[in-house]
Amino acid sequence: MVKKYIIAIDLGGTNLKCALLDGQLKIKAKSYFSTKSFDNRLKLIQGLADSVGNFIVSQGLKRSVILGVGIGVPGPVDTLAGVVHFLPNVPGWKEVALKKILERKTKLPVFVDNDAKLMTLAEHQVGAAKKSKNVLCLTLGTGVGGGLIINNVLYRGADNAAGEIGHLPLNEKGPLCGCGARGCLETYIGNNRILKNARKIFGSKITLEKVSALARQFNPKAVAFWSQVGKELGLALSGIVNLLNLDAIVIGGGVSGAGKVLLESVRRTILLRAMPGQARRVKVIPAKLGIDAGIIGAGYLVRERLS
Amino acid sequence: MVKKYIIAIDLGGTNLKCALLDGQLKIKAKSYFSTKSFDNRLKLIQGLADSVGNFIVSQGLKRSVILGVGIGVPGPVDTLAGVVHFLPNVPGWKEVALKKILERKTKLPVFVDNDAKLMTLAEHQVGAAKKSKNVLCLTLGTGVGGGLIINNVLYRGADNAAGEIGHLPLNEKGPLCGCGARGCLETYIGNNRILKNARKIFGSKITLEKVSALARQFNPKAVAFWSQVGKELGLALSGIVNLLNLDAIVIGGGVSGAGKVLLESVRRTILLRAMPGQARRVKVIPAKLGIDAGIIGAGYLVRERLS
């Protein structure tokens, strides 16, 4: 039997990750690029097509053994049509028919979806939420992305836009958010705000990686700092835990590097603020697949659509 | 062919409604009791059994034409076991095996579920949300109850506790809630709080029915009053609209008597505060089945479980 492969791409605001996956979605080869090294949208799309071509040539494969190409992008997507609505952190993307363009360029079936949804799919299939039926997956970064598994299936909502947890209102008199509203969760636990707060405590040259490292060394100020972040996050999650009676919440992304301190504070806040039954039920666990989650999710997307 | 019937019961904190439904879930006969007229739990359960018996006798039916008995109760339920965990507004109910007790007393199959869930089921099957795939149904009263339809199916969560929207945190420094937390949605739009605010404006003898009537007559103070209630509710719903990308929100219960003014304010707030795509998608509509929603939902529960 001829071995089949999938090409998976995770297009981030900073990095472009490409991988060749086998039929079991194990990574056989990888390549990384800086997203900013492509001057504009057209060059970036050509870069995606070239990556696909390069895997085929460098691995000595026939095009016929590639089942398809899966792509995750950091923004809202019409996944059936394969149209990217816009990418908040990558300039020049608005209503781009990415599936159609890349299918023409690569002569392969192409499937596109939102990156947080693919990360959620991956963590549920083979990661931290493998045995959980109802799951919220979070990625903490500049923005706060999310995806939902409901009754073991990725929940997309009416327009594939479900999972947007960053704009949960926490305080109607809170800080102004990029979305135009006030006091959204993202204004409390987005990287920019956290970094700003960290600088007040640790000086202007501190990085979030450094504050995370300090917390892992039990520096009391750093522990207090991440506990406060976990409290804000836990408060927002309490409402969702009450509403959705989840089995698990998976937390990944850069900020989650603060690890146990952050997660412990989230857990404590949920136990304190959510309703007892729901609070006791939900597990709060770290993401397992790290930076590969998007790629593995893109592989699942291809497998799901072709089955 | 012999006609089949279902007996449906909606056990509320104030009223106990019983109905005989035909195979199409049309109401053939009804009876109402005051819940408080039963001194204690045992008498109330006997009252439920007697109501079932009375329908059979008064309508001249054979027990064999009754498919089953469906019961909605105002509190958390293990619906598969038919055990009522507790009823916040009916004293003496804790871990009551209602299904088992009533099956013994009535010699009929009995099914029990939470009343907000049954109302949601009914509004989705034959009411306001008939053609909507992803729906949040709300009942506004002393408490704020809710139920979710996800991909056309009632979503129960890990322990049949999903839908608890009343304890969504809106403000961590807000008023103390009955659940022990602060600033829950219920502390802003629960009947008690609304009435307290109404008294400050309209005097100590005002009722919520009166303020609703005034709003329907476009009394400016009453319109401003319900607009503010709608704003608090709309703010909380904005977060859920972002997260779940719903097709529809159905609003019912006592407070919804304020009608258009309240709903218009909820709609306006969602358009202002939720993300544009999700906000434009979601319809905010009044419940259609009124006080019969619980009964019709109980009928669906029986049909669903026996099919």
Distance from the Cα of B207 to chain A's closest Cα (Å) equals 28
User: Are B235 and A133 inside 8 Å of each other by CB?
Assistant: no
pLDDT for residue A239 is more than 90: yes
Closest CA in chain A for residue B146? A243
Span B157-201, pLDDT tens digits: 999 999 999 888 888 788 888 777 888 888 888 888 899 999 999
User: Are A160 and B245 inside 8 Å of each other by CB?
Assistant: yes
Distance from the Cα of B204 to chain A's closest Cα (Å) equals 29
pLDDT, position A35: 85
Phi then psi for A253, rounded to 5 degrees? 95, 175
User: Are A158 and B134 inside 8 Å of each other by CB?
Assistant: yes
Q: Percent of chain B having pLDDT more than 70?
A: 99
Q: What is the pLDDT confidence band of residue A178, given thresholds at 50, 70 and 90?
A: confident
Q: What is the pLDDT confidence band of residue B255, given thresholds at 50, 70 and 90?
A: low
Strands (E), chain B: 5-11, 15-22, 27-34, 66-73, 77-78, 83-86, 94-96, 110-114, 135-140, 144-150, 153-155, 248-253, 283-286
User: Are A277 and B159 inside 8 Å of each other by CB?
Assistant: yes
DSSP state of B65: G
Q: Domains in chain A, start-ordered, CATH in brackets?
A: 5-118+292-306 (3.30.420.40), 130-288 (3.30.420.40)
For the whole model, what pTM was predicted?
0.91
Among A117, A242, A281, most B C-beta atoms within 10 A, so best to mutate, is: A242
B149 contacts in chain A (CB < 8 Å): none
pLDDT, position B72: 96
Overall average pLDDT of the B23-31 stretch? 93
User: Are A169 and B272 inside 8 Å of each other by CB?
Assistant: no
User: Are A273 and B242 inside 8 Å of each other by CB?
Assistant: no
Average pLDDT score, chain B: 92
pLDDT for residue A42 is more than 70: yes
Query: Measured between alpha carbons, how far is A174 from B191 in angstroms, rounded to an integer?
Result: 26
pLDDT for residue B254 is more than 70: no
Residues near B138 by beta carbon (within 8 Å), at least 6 away in sequence: B144, B145, B146, B165, B249, B250, B251, B252, B253
B165 contacts in chain A (CB < 8 Å): 242-243
Among A131, A170, A243, A281, most B C-beta atoms within 10 A, so best to mutate, is: A243
pLDDT, position B77: 94
Span B121-153, pLDDT tens digits: 999 999 999 999 999 999 888 788 899 999 999
pLDDT for residue A255 is more than 70: no
User: Are A240 and B243 inside 8 Å of each other by CB?
Assistant: yes
User: Are B148 and A243 inside 8 Å of each other by CB?
Assistant: yes
A271 SS3 class: helix
Closest CA in chain A for residue B170? A170
Q: SS in 3 state form for B216-280?
A: HCCCHHHHHHHHHHHHHHHHHHHHHHHHHCCCEEEEEEHHHHHCHHHHHHHHHHHHHHCCHHHHH
pLDDT, position A123: 97
User: Are B235 and A172 inside 8 Å of each other by CB?
Assistant: yes
Residues near B215 by beta carbon (within 8 Å), at least 6 away in sequence: B222, B223, B225, B226, B258, B259, B261, B262
Overall average pLDDT of the A56-79 stretch? 94
User: Are A239 and B167 inside 8 Å of each other by CB?
Assistant: yes
Q: Which residue has the higher pLDDT, B12 or B25?
A: B25
Span B88-107, pLDDT tens digits: 778 889 999 999 999 999 99
pLDDT, position A156: 95
User: Are B160 and A245 inside 8 Å of each other by CB?
Assistant: yes
Among A94, A245, A268, A269, most B C-beta atoms within 10 A, so best to mutate, is: A245
B242 contacts in chain A (CB < 8 Å): 164-165, 167-168
User: B158-193 b/e with 16+ CB inside 10 Å = b?
Assistant: bbbbbbbbbbbbbbbebeebebebbbbbbbbbbbeb
* Among B163, B235, B244, beta carbon nearest to A162: B244
pLDDT for residue B224 is more than 80: yes
pLDDT, position B17: 93
pLDDT for residue A128 is more than 70: yes
Average pLDDT score, chain A: 92
Q: What is the pLDDT confidence band of residue A167, given thresholds at 50, 70 and 90?
A: confident
User: Are A161 and B240 inside 8 Å of each other by CB?
Assistant: no
B246 contacts in chain A (CB < 8 Å): 157-158
Closest CA in chain B for residue A242? B164
* Among A85, A169, A235, beta carbon nearest to B239: A169
